[in-house]
């Protein structure tokens, strides 16, 4: 055969292949929304560590109600995806020749069934993987969970593949006959059988009912979303979205209207005026006004104000240290003074921060001046801010309630709760609907997250249940020197600068000079906002938590600004901690050169840095990347985004290194190591993750003496009177966990 003939045959073959691909693509376009749902679930299970840990928590902790709902929603989502895809492929659309029933008839019968089975099937495989990798003491629940999911997968598969045969063998001949004789060239939805139309109408009605349920505040208060569990809510949302999306695709195909494009344009137009993410400035506030952004009261118009608002940090510290020195035993010098820097990282950061500080407080509880009385300030970011707020609330609560349980027990009892379900329910239902409305109507998912923490606190502290609902500044109302001052760090969207929410210097004529190029949140909105909102304003890491709208009352242009997660600027909290340390050093109260006269009280200034994930040194990362040699997917597209995200951690590491070199300041890092499970970012922690982190506060496993437990013991000794203890040599360097070694 000559070369021209071979070329012509190859071109013909290539043309035929291309035509087949086009026809196949046209068939898949009919059910594009049904294909999207399993793809989203697959991406979640592959790349969302948070969802993986939620599944682990549901299985390991044997949350029976959540398991039952997850199994039910798993079957529901699979059947809805199957039924809606099957129904869509029964229509013949004039604009799409591939909708002809003679085109790929077998594919059109089998593909919906495979899509339906894929929903429970993917979950079964993921939970099976978790069961294989779980620790021995927590395997039972996951294996039972895996078996239950496998049964659901089998039942769904049997129904979608064998329903006609089952109907014939069980005597339902009419059903079997209707399945056999069903039409596959329907021109419009009215030609669907009555049963099919009733099913679709019922699913649409269920959409409305579920939406109303998640709009009802009482449903959250009684723990409805938490009982369902985040995975079940996600599957419920995916299943119901499949119905609405299929109807949208039907309209687009049947009428030739680019309805998806029109909906996208409509949401863009609505976004100009429907932002419902306003930060609450009073305990009973909302996230929107009446069909518009509300102008929140200015600080001067609020009923209560911060008891520390008329003092600068320097003025407050001098009074605080004078009170501390006056309570010290005779000749107890130098006096240890701590600044805490709590890194961000979702509930992982909140748990590690609160538990580490609680361990120190429990260890020194019998001392007349426990650890908390030696802490002047806590600089928190994101989840670290939540942990700091929880620790401060625990200290303040014990001033009035006198609880007997250990602080660690209280905190673990609170933070073992599911904080994601409420947020996810609000995000997938009322907050999603809000995006299609031209004016704000619903409270947003940020308030749902705030209130979930308020309920968790009340459940763990019945004697002081309103603490997280009360105003931020109430922590210092009874004794302004007893509770460490909080500095919650956020990032201003419009300028990229740091924003600090603190009760200090909110009423002074000028901002506190201690902090450079920062926005004082308290001077804009006051400090009457709930403690939960104040802490979580620092934890607005999109997209689970939206950026917050702040009314500047004409002090800035524009009048409204937005606050995002503090980790965008500095995820370590070290920049603010360094500025606080400089104020304390400038007071000339540090022992040694430039300090007070002999015989006068002086302090030993220590910054306690609380990261919440094992450190992987830059040299280790560079070595791994150098030896990897794998090509990067779409490097030109993703490299800028990867750079921006990775600089968060790099800036934090640099800020900590600058703090390490600060004169007259000692730096001590308490860092957890990875044991059996890597703690994910997010708002749910499994019992396995909590156990792995908690035991490191008192144990040193595979890390020698350079671990969190040893460092906590050293701080205990310092607070309990061993003031001559030198900072151990190995503590002068950040602890490196075994997992960080080059493999």
Q: H helices within 288-343, ranges in order? A: 313-326
Dihedral pair phi/psi, residue 416, rounded to 5°? -80, -5
Q: Is the Cβ–Cβ distance between 234 and 44 less than 8 Å?
A: yes
| Same domain flag for 107 and 205 | yes
Residues in the chain: 743
Q: How far lies 328's CA from each of 272, 336, 592, 719, in Å?
A: 58, 11, 19, 11
Q: Is the pLDDT of residue 732 over 90?
A: no
Q: Please say which residue of 257, 289, 321 terminates a domain.
A: 257
Q: Is residue 688 part of a domain?
A: yes
The reply to whether 270 falls in a domain is no
Q: Which domain holds residue 113?
A: 23-257
Tens digits of residue pLDDT in 604-613: 999 999 998 7
Query: Do 92 and 202 have their domain in common?
Result: yes
Do 65 and 136 fall into the same domain?
yes
Please give the DSSP secondary-structure letter assigned to residue 590. B
d(CA 385, CA 125): 36
Is position 283 within any domain?
no
User: Which pLDDT score is estimated for 492?
Assistant: 95
Tell me the pLDDT tens digit for each residue of 227-286.
Answer: 999 899 999 999 999 998 888 888 888 888 888 889 999 999 999 989 999 999 998 888
For residue 203, is it within any domain? yes
Same domain, 165 and 47: yes
Q: 249 with 352, same domain?
A: no
| Angle formed by the axes of helices 105-133 and 32-47, nearest 10° | 10
Residue 16 within any structural domain of the chain: no
Do residue 218 and residue 306 come from a single domain? no
Q: How far is CA 414 from CA 53, 352, 547, in A?
A: 18, 13, 25
Domain-located, residue 84: yes
| Whether residue 82 is found in the same domain as residue 223 | yes
Least confidently predicted of 273-277, 372-376, 548-552, 676-680: 676-680
At 740, the pLDDT band (50, 70, 90 cuts) reads very low
| Cα 663–Cα 664–Cα 666 angle in degrees, nearest 5 | 100
Within this chain, do residues 386 and 310 fall inside the same structural domain, yes or no?
Answer: yes
User: Is the pLDDT reported for residue 535 higher than 50?
Assistant: yes
Q: Are residues 502 and 574 in the same domain?
A: yes
Q: What is the DSSP letter of 341?
A: E
CATH of residue 643: 3.40.1090
User: Which domain-ending residue is among 239, 257, 275?
Assistant: 257
Supply the mean pLDDT for the chain. Answer: 85
The answer as to whether 214 is a domain residue is: yes
The Cα 389–Cα 531 span in angstroms is: 7
Instruction: Decide: 55 and 146 in contact? Cβ < 8 Å.
Output: no
Cα(646)–Cα(616) distance, integer angstroms: 13
What CA–CA distance (Å, rounded) separates 360 from 395? 12
How much of the chain, in percent, has pLDDT values that exceed 70?
Answer: 87
More confident residue, 53 or 336: 336
Last residue of a domain, one of 225, 257, 289: 257
Residue 269 lies in a domain: no
User: What digits encode the pLDDT tens for the residues 664-714?
Assistant: 899 998 988 765 566 667 788 888 788 888 888 887 744 456 678 888 888
| 346-363 helix and 407-415 helix, angle to the nearest 10 degrees | 160
**pTM exceeding the 0.85 threshold for the entire prediction:** yes
C-alpha to C-alpha distance for 199 and 206, rounded to whole angstroms: 10
Residues 233 and 309 in one domain: no
* pLDDT given at position 157: 94
Radius of gyration (C-alpha) of the chain in whole angstroms: 30
Q: CB under 8 Å to 465, separation ≥6 — which residues?
A: 457, 458
DSSP 178-229: HHHT--S-BSSGGGS-HHHHHHHHHHHHHHHHHHHHHH-HHHHHTTHHHHH-
Structural domains in the chain (count): 2
394 and 512, same domain (yes or no) = yes
State whether 212 and 68 are in the same domain. yes
Minimum mean pLDDT among 49-63, 176-190, 218-232: which range?
Answer: 176-190
Q: How far apart are CA 236 and CA 152, in angstroms?
A: 16
């Amino acid at each position: 055969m000559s070369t021209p003939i071979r070329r012509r045959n190859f071109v013909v073959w290539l043309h035929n292949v291309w035509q087949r691909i086009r026809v196949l693509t046209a068939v898949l376009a009919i059910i594009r929304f049904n294909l999207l749902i399993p793809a989203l679930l697959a991406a979640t299970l592959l790349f969302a560590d948070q969802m993986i840990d939620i599944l682990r928590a549901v299985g390991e902790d044997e949350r029976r109600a959540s398991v039952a709902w997850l199994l039910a929603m798993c079957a529901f989502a699979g059947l809805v995806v199957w039924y809606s895809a099957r129904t869509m492929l029964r229509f013949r659309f004039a604009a799409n020749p591939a909708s002809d029933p003679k085109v790929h008839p077998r594919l059109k019968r089998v593909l919906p069934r495979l899509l339906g089975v894929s929903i429970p099937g993917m979950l079964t495989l993921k939970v099976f993987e978790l069961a294989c990798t779980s620790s021995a003491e927590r395997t039972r629940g996951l294996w039972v969970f895996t078996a239950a999911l496998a049964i659901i997968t089998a039942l769904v598969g049997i129904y979608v593949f064998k329903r006609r045969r089952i109907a014939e063998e069980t005597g339902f001949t009419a059903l079997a006959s209707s399945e056999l004789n069903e039409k596959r060239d329907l021109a419009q939805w009215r030609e669907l059988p009555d049963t099919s139309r009733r099913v679709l109408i019922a699913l649409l009605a269920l959409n409305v009912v579920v939406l109303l349920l998640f709009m009802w505040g009482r449903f959250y208060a009684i723990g409805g979303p938490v009982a369902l569990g985040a995975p079940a809510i996600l599957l419920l949302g995916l299943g119901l979205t499949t119905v609405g999306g299929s109807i949208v695709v039907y309209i687009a195909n049947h009428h030739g209207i680019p309805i998806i494009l029109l909906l996208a344009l409509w949401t863009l137009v609505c976004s100009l005026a429907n932002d419902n993410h306003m930060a609450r400035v009073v305990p009973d506030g909302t996230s929107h006004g009446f069909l518009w952004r509300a102008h929140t009261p200015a600080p001067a118009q609020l009923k209560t104000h911060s008891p520390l608002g008329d003092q600068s940090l320097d003025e407050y510290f001098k009074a605080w240290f004078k009170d501390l020195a006056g309570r010290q035993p005779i000749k107890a010098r130098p006096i240890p003074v701590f600044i805490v820097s709590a890194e961000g990282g979702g509930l992982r950061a909140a748990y590690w921060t609160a538990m580490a500080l609680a361990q120190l407080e429990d260890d020194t509880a019998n001392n007349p001046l426990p650890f908390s009385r030696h802490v002047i300030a806590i600089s928190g970011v994101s989840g670290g801010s939540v942990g700091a707020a929880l620790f401060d609330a625990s200290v303040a609560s014990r001033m009035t309630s006198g609880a007997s349980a250990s602080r660690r027990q209280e905190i673990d009892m609170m933070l073992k709760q599911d904080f994601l379900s409420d947020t996810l329910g609000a995000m997938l239902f009322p907050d999603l609907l809000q995006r299609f409305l031209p004016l704000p109507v619903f409270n947003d998912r940020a308030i749902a997250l705030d209130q979930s923490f308020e309920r968790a606190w009340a459940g763990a502290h019945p004697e002081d249940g309103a603490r997280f609902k009360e105003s931020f500044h109430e922590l210092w109302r009874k004794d302004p020197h007893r509770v460490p001052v909080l500095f919650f760090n956020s990032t201003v969207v419009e300028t990229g600068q740091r924003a600090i929410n603190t009760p200090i210097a909110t009423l002074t004529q000028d901002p506190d000079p201690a902090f450079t190029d920062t926005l004082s949140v308290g001077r804009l909105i006051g400090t009457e906002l709930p403690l939960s909102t104040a802490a979580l304003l620092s934890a607005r890491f999109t997209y689970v938590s939206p950026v917050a709208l702040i009314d500047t009352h004409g002090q800035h242009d524009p009048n409204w600004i937005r606050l995002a997660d503090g980790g965008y600027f500095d995820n370590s909290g070290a920049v603010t901690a360094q500025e606080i340390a400089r104020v304390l050093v400038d007071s000339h109260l540090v022992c040694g050169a430039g300090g007070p006269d002999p015989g006068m009280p002086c302090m030993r200034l220590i910054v306690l840095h609380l990261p919440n994930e094992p450190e992987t040194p830059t040299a280790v990362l560079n070595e791994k990347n150098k030896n990897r040699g794998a090509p990067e997917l779409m490097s030109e597209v993703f490299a800028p985004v990867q750079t921006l995200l990775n600089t968060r951690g790099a800036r934090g590491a640099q800020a900590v290194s600058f703090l390490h070199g600060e004169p007259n300041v000692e730096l001590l890092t308490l860092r957890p190591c990875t044991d059996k499970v890597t703690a994910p970012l997010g708002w749910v922690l499994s019992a396995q993750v909590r156990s792995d982190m908690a035991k490191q506060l008192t144990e040193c496993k595979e890390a020698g003496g350079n671990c969190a437990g040893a460092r906590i013991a050293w701080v205990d000794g310092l607070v309990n009177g061993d003031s001559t203890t030198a900072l151990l040599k190995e503590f002068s360097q950040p602890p490196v966990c075994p997992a960080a070694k080059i493999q």
